[in-house]
Chains A and B, each alone.
Chain A
Amino acid sequence: MAFAWKASGLTYNKYLSVAARTVRRSLKDDKRLAAERRGDMELRFAKWTNGKQGENKSLADANAASMAEAGSQSSS
């Protein structure tokens, strides 16, 4: 099965998180406020080389960058 989002470099995980975010935003106000907190993700990571910590990066930004790269590779 071919999915349009796959051609743009998006992963299945990203597809699911976008779909879940949309569902949360469509709820009635009281439920929405409780649910939207579940979508927050603030993970950060750093690569260690030769015993030194590298740059501290946000995982969400790094994921977005890698998906943009995958998208440009598949379309070119």
Chain B
Amino acid sequence: MNTFRIARTALRVRPATVRAPLQRRGYAEAVSDKIKLSLALPHQSVYKSTDVVQVNIPAESGEMGVLANHVPSIEQLKPGLVEVIEESGGSKQFFLSGGFAIVQPNSELSINAVEGYPLEDFSAEAVRSQIAEAQKIASGSGSEQDIAEAKIELEVLESLQAALK
């Protein structure tokens, strides 16, 4: 009985010792200071599991910067500016209309939004004229829903105007 047990443990031990050198090599490769970013819109994926250094996101709970090995979390995004610092050192800025950012345990960050464009695609002129229009509706005598919509528009436009400066 006893010898049988020893034989079984010996069987179990051997594959592990054979695999050990391989595991060590894998560990050295796995250490990375980059975070894999996926930035997806319903009609386009801007980043697809791309290695980046840092991503700054406008969460409802406050602005946050996400680096590699960040604590896993799910954040609701405000309409605002997402800044991506790429491997080459350059940074790109996108204005997103609001959505969710999910930090996954294995240094992966997924950002989902309805609309998102690089900052240079926006027209300051269009933002200004829309702010004037939305303010008129927000302080007017429309239905409660129209006023709420105008206030959402103002939130987006003011964030956009601050980003464009």
Proximity bits, A6-32, B CB within 8 Å = 1, else 0: 011110001111111011111111011
- Whether A23 lies near B123 (C-beta < 8 A) is no
Known A26-B130, A27-B121, A31-B121; contact A16-B114, beta-carbon cutoff 8 A: yes
Complex Cα–Cα for A62 and B112 (A): 27
Interface residues on A, range: 20 to 34
Complex Cα–Cα for A18 and B95 (A): 15
Query: Could you say which of B60, B95, B145 contacts A23, with CB atoms under 8 Å apart?
Result: B95
Proximity bits, B76-117, A CB within 8 Å = 1, else 0: 000100000000000000011111000000000000001111
- Whether A5 lies near B148 (C-beta < 8 A) is yes
- Whether B145 lies near A18 (C-beta < 8 A) is no
- Whether A22 lies near B97 (C-beta < 8 A) is yes
Contact residues in B for A22 (Cβ distance below 8 Å): 79, 97, 130, 152-153, 156-157
Complex Cα–Cα for A24 and B156 (A): 11
- Whether A35 lies near B115 (C-beta < 8 A) is yes
Contact residues in A for B157 (Cβ distance below 8 Å): 22, 26
Interface residues of B (CB under 8 A from A): 42-43, 60, 79, 95-99, 114-117, 121-123, 126-127, 130, 143-145, 147-149, 151-153, 155-157, 160
